[in-house]
Amino acid sequence: MSRVVASLLLCAVCILLALLRKYRTHVVSNPALKYSYYPALILLAALGINYLLTALGANKVYTFQQAVYGLSLGSVYALIALGYTMVYGIIRLINFAHGDIYMVGAYAGYYAVTVMHLPFVPALVIAMVASSVLGVLIERIAYKPLRNSPRITLLITAIGMSLLLENVGQKLFTSTPRTYPTIFKASYEVFGVSVDQSRIIIFAVTVLLMIGLQYFVNYTKPGMAMRALSQDRDAARLMGINVDRVISVTFAVGSALAGAAGILVGIVYPQIKPTMGIMPGLKAFVAAVIGGIGIIPGAMLGGMIIGVSENFVTAYISSSWRDAIAFGLLILILLVKPSGLLGKSVREKV
Amino acid sequence: MLRIEDLHVYYGGIHALKGINLTVAQSQIVALIGANGAGKSTTLNSICGIVRVESGTIEFLGKNITNVPSHHIVSMGLSQVPEGRKVFPAMTVNENLLMGAYSRRDRAGVREDLERVFALFPRLKERRNQTAGTLSGGEQQMLAIGRGLMSRPKLLLLDEPSMGLAPLLVQEIFRIIKEINGQGTTILLVEQNANMALSIADYGYVLETGKTVIQGPARDLAQNEDVRAAYLGG
């Protein structure tokens, strides 16, 4: 029993150290520790989990298997959540049509693979471009004319846009589910755990896209303009930033990520249908809120947390609790830290 | 350099500017003084294209810039240091300054101006990798002015640079404004601290409820009985 408590404590300390800003800045300001801080914490937490599993006498292979499943599902949530969080950061709108953009991405990928017989990478690009164009069009047609309306008007428009896309989708693609052909068949054995190639692809593509996004947001001119706009719109305009263009870029990038999620989900969970965007869209929104809405790393973290916990609940409790866990976590976070895991309450200096 | 004629601006049903007339000549410092709500900031914001102008004309370097979108204004050589500093709090000092140069494409020139700003404000150089939200009020004001200079403006609009600063810092900021002007940048200065503003300005305008009511050389305004009674504390 004491082993269980000790290992739980170890994990808790790791999580706290990773999340608490005060201690993090204190340690990370030390140049020697700067780049070893997070890897060291992850290693420590892994040791703690390993110890815990031993103490509980759990089946480690099965647990690890579930973690792998969870991370690939989490990748999909994270990619969708990024679009929610970026759009919210710029125009304070919860774009409820975002889940349906992900659906369109899945179909674009499906047709690229089946009708056009394209390999995976070009199909991924097509899915991203199609979603991106759709996202920008939606913003131009539906949201832009409402730029100066009350926020509730915009929110209701977004819900309407979501319903429109779902229904047009049913007309266009029919409501019969389509099945993605198997693109990646291989499976590898790692320490007795079988890891499908498709899940590695999901995870790898997601990580690459996130690194690309971080670079875009932090080091490129349009990315910096996005951050500036999200922090102070009037000041951004005074810098000569074209607000309309930056908003379009934000929708383009966010929707492209959702499109990528659409095709990635198709290679692991091959059934796609026009209403497939509703639940993942909602959960990705929850993920964005859990991580701290408007904060890009928060969306990544939130997505992974939802994906992994969903899988563990399915594996160890019951699959009927699958959807409840996401919303349960949401309620918990809103009670404990309403600004989200990585959110901070910004103080204004006068 | 800048000429404003009979400028009218409405906020909804409120008639905020009721005919502003104002001229700024090359290499001058012009002060715009007046009480809260007189329309000082609105005037600056309509020059920058942030506020929609109902009627009247704004001319800059001979071009009509009335209701030109704000993102075209900066590249014409006009930039504003807004009231309340409005630095980007989660971006570093360096990034804030680079945002000031957003409309420019000449990298070498930008790097040059970055050094020029750091020479003007050594404190900013020390803190170049700190996020702007962690700076003190005075440092944020320096950053806001430095950011305004990064677009290499011909005319710099300054909105209440002394607001909320300790008297010593206010003097420091005004000394720097004078220095910037000496380096060849024309300045339009909006201030509630009329004493300070008139002490460095060449020419001044007094705004009252959306109208320019008194104007004249800064020295004369500082002596004017009405101005002294209303804005200079007797």
Domain ranges of chain A: 1-58, 69-336
Mean of pLDDT values over B173-177 = 94
Please compute Rg for chain B using Cα positions.
Answer: 17
Q: Do A241 and B88 touch (CB under 8 A)?
A: no
Q: Please, where are the H alpha helices in chain A?
A: 2-19, 21-28, 31-34, 37-56, 60-91, 98-114, 120-138, 151-173, 197-219, 221-231, 233-238, 243-268, 278-291, 296-316, 322-336
Helix axes A98-114, A60-91, angle to 10 degrees: 120
Which residue among A224, A225, A234 places its CB closest to the CB of B82? A234
Asked if A295 is an interface residue toward chain B (Cβ–Cβ < 8 A), one would say: no
Single-letter amino acid, residue A344: K
Q: Could you tell me what percent of chain B has a pLDDT over 70? A: 99
Nearest-angstrom CA–CA distance, B176 and B180: 6
Per-residue tokens: B175:
């000394």
Q: What is the pTM (predicted TM-score) of this model? A: 0.89
pLDDT at A349: 39
User: Tokens 């639940």 appear where?
Assistant: A279
Chain B residues inside the 8 Å CB shell of A237 = 48-50, 70-71
The alpha carbon of residue B34 is apart from the nearest alpha carbon of chain A, in Å, by: 21
Helix, strand, coil: what percent of chain B each, to 5? 40, 30, 30
Please compute Rg for chain A using Cα positions.
Answer: 21
pLDDT at A26: 61
State the greatest distance between any 2 C-alpha atoms of chain A, in Å, as a whole number: 63
The tens-digit pLDDT sequence of chain A (350 residues) is: 677 788 888 888 877 777 666 566 666 566 666 667 777 778 888 888 888 888 777 788 888 888 889 999 999 999 999 999 999 999 999 999 999 999 999 999 999 999 999 999 999 999 999 999 999 999 999 999 998 899 999 999 999 999 999 999 999 999 999 999 988 888 888 877 888 899 999 999 999 999 999 999 999 999 999 999 999 999 999 999 999 999 999 999 999 999 999 999 999 888 999 999 999 999 999 999 999 998 899 999 999 999 999 999 999 898 899 999 999 999 999 998 888 888 876 544 33
Chain A residues inside the 8 Å CB shell of B48 = 237-238
Q: CA angle B107-B108-B110, nearest 5°?
A: 65
pLDDT at A41: 79
Chain A residues inside the 8 Å CB shell of B75 = 240
Q: What is the DSSP string of A195-226?
A: EEHHHHHHHHHHHHHHHHHHHHHHHSHHHHHH
pLDDT at A348: 42
For residue range B50-85, what is the model confidence (pLDDT) as tens digits?
Answer: 999 999 999 999 999 999 999 999 999 999 999 999
* Interface contacts A/B by beta carbons within 8 Å: 78
pLDDT confidence of B226, banded at 50, 70, 90?
Answer: confident
pLDDT at A170: 95
Asked if A217 is an interface residue toward chain B (Cβ–Cβ < 8 A), one would say: no
Distance of CA A91 to the CA centre of its chain: 19
CATH number of A69-336: 1.10.3470
CB atoms within 10 A of CB A6: 14
Asked if B70 is an interface residue toward chain A (Cβ–Cβ < 8 A), one would say: yes
Q: Are A37 and A27 in contact (CB under 8 A)?
A: yes
